[in-house]
Structure 1
Amino acid sequence: MKKTYLAFAFAAATLLACNSGTSSNTADSTTTFNDSNNTSAMNNGNDTSATTMNSMNTDTKPVSDMDKQFMMDAAAAGNTEVMAGQVAQNMAKNDRVKNFANMMVNDHTKAGNELKTLASQKNVTLPDSVMPKQHDALEGLRKTSAKNFDKEYIDMMVKDHKEAVSKFQMASEKCDNGDVKTWAANTLPTLKMHLDSAQAIQKALK
């Protein structure tokens, strides 16, 4: 009986050890425009996706320059969607637009957390905010009148997600590193759903 108890305790301890894990992150603000209203927006929040990504580090070969560029572009674009979504949460009047904005903040924060974990595993430094062009777009959105805001925001989301779907589709096929390719492929369906939703709302607002 004593031997059985010890064996059970050892198995439980082993299971707990296997299920534990930590993730680290890196950021390089020198390569991005540091948005003063909301930096690292996509990197905030707790999500179990980090633990999931820890188990995906299976391709040990160095990440190519093409893959690094995709990861950096994806991080900056995701930050933009979170920041724009937060602006829309406060300024949008239409309920469908507000709900869409909430989805943007939640989904892109989750994807950003996954990408941070992957980048840490691959020793890739991600931007912690947005690029200058994206900053200008966000500033323009913040200055949009209440009357025109919903349409301007959704038009921006349709444009952004068309670009994102195209880039993620290519990355899911062309990335050299298997883990980066898998993350792009896994994220792509959500981006396509976002685009479909944004286009439906855009049509309804006309």
Structure 2
Amino acid sequence: MTPSQRQFAASLAVVSSLLAAPAGWAADRLAAADAAMLKDIAQANIAEVESGKIALDKSSDAEIKKFAKMMVDDHSKGLSDVKTLAAAKGTELPAGPDAKHKAVALEFKALSGGMFDSRYVKQAGVGDHEATEKLLKKTQSEAKDADLKALAGKMLPVVQTHLQHARTLEAGMARK
């Protein structure tokens, strides 16, 4: 092989690898349904962090403040895990709460005392965790991406613990 043939072959190899790269990158990208589930999981974590911060500020109940602190801490960690996976898979996540959760935050900010505590536990504690548990189970069974399934599997026991805790808080409030 002459020097010019070697250079041509090397150039051809570089061009071929560059043309093939997007196909390889696409293999790491999520299917649309998987990306939507990942975005929903991100949204759930964002909402729990935001509502937990509101509860830390507004509630005077020590148990609810403890629960809210756990929500902020655990869901901040969950959101970090979601962001890591999204970055690896080339999926853009929402930067903040969606319209539904913004409306709930406004409602929470307008309430105080026992009304706030009751609504926070019912909505963010029980309702949102029931929805998130359902989402994570759906992700485990329907997602195509193994990493996304693994993330859902990692998050599910945490969400189930939160849900049980919220139900206990709700039951305690009903007895008061």
TM-score, normalised via structure 2 length: 0.81
Alignment root-mean-square deviation, CA:
0.9
Of 99, 119, 140 in structure 2, the residue corresponding to residue 132 of structure 1 is 99
Which amino acid is 2:37 matched to?
A: F
Residue by residue over 1:61-115, the C-alpha shift from the partner in whole angstroms, topping out at 9 and shown as x without a partner, is 4311111001111111111100100010011121111100000000000000011
Aligned to 1:199: 167
In terms of fraction of residues, the more helix-rich structure is: 2
Which amino acid is 1:185 matched to?
A: G
Aligned to 1:170: 138
Residues 48-197 of structure 1 aligned to structure 2 (within 5 Å): 60-156=27-123, 157-197=125-165
Aligned to 1:26: none
Unaligned regions of 5+ residues in structure 1, if any?
A: 1-59
TM-score, normalised via structure 1 length: 0.70
Residue by residue over 1:122-161, the C-alpha shift from the partner in whole angstroms, topping out at 9 and shown as x without a partner, is 0000001011111001110111122311111100120000
Q: What count of residue pairs does the alignment treat as equivalent?
A: 147
Residue by residue over 1:160-197, the C-alpha shift from the partner in whole angstroms, topping out at 9 and shown as x without a partner, is 00000001011012110000110001100000000000
Residues 10-49 of structure 1 aligned to structure 2 (within 5 Å): none
Mean Cα deviation higher: 164-173 or 142-151: 142-151
SS at the partner of 1:190? Answer: helix
Aligned to 1:27: none
Which amino acid is 1:179 matched to?
A: D
Unaligned regions of 5+ residues in structure 2, if any?
A: 1-26
Structure 1 segments of 4 or more deviating over 3 A? none
Aligned to 1:16: none
Q: Which has the larger radius of gyration?
A: 2
Asked if the contact 2:29/2:90 (under 8 Å) is kept, the reply is: no
